[in-house]
Amino acid sequence: MKNSKLLQWSTLLFAFFFVVSSFGQKQDLPESEVEFWDRVQFGGGAGLAIGSEFTSVSLSPQAIYTFNKYVAGGLGLNAGYIRERNFYEAQNYGVSIIGLVSPFPAVQLSAELNQTNYTFKYEDRMRFREQFWDTALLLGAGYSNGSMTIGLQYDVLYDYDRSINGSPLMPFIRVFF
């Protein structure tokens, strides 16, 4: 039974990577014939977690411009909502500037500067509200198969007393079409 499940998941994972890598194939045109919009890629992330007393929703669209086969840069937006019943509610929104460098086809290095506004409302006995801006500078490295990159980022501006994330190290999956 375990081998059957492993085979099913392996086949599904292989099919997913095959489909994603096929989106990343582009026709090579002379530099002078490439239009602006041919160099723009869109992607980002979305998240949804729902439990009996917990809800989390996030959306973070991104767009990058590919300058050449080694360098790309772009912008991103992010928004999110989290609520744990009888404890707290939080919203966030922000922007990011993204720089990507691919020294080798399978390696992607990244730098991402995020500016995010957080608002927390605590629902316990004290019932107070907190709002602040947080800046993060994420430096990362990942394995890339064309349109998808899996890797790890480190927030060099991480503040153990103030940061929202539990750790300065964060895994990521980045997909562009």
Kindly indicate the confidence band of residue 13, based on its pLDDT and cuts at 50, 70 and 90.
very low
pLDDT tens column, 51-67? 888 899 999 999 999 99
Residue 65: exposure state from Cβ atoms within 10 A (0-12, 13-18, ≥19): middle
Q: What is the pLDDT of residues 72-84, one digit of tens each?
A: 999 999 999 999 8
pTM > 0.75 = no
**Over 50: is that where the pLDDT of 12 sits?**
no
Q: Is the pLDDT of residue 31 over 80?
A: no
For residues 151 and 172, the answer to whether their CB atoms sit within 8 Å is: yes
Q: How confident is the model at residue 6 (pLDDT cuts 50, 70, 90)?
A: very low
pLDDT tens column, 140-175? 999 999 789 999 999 999 988 877 778 899 998 888
* Average pLDDT, rounded, for the chain: 83
User: Any residues with CB less than 8 A from the CB of 24 and at least 6 apart, and which?
Assistant: 145, 146, 147, 148
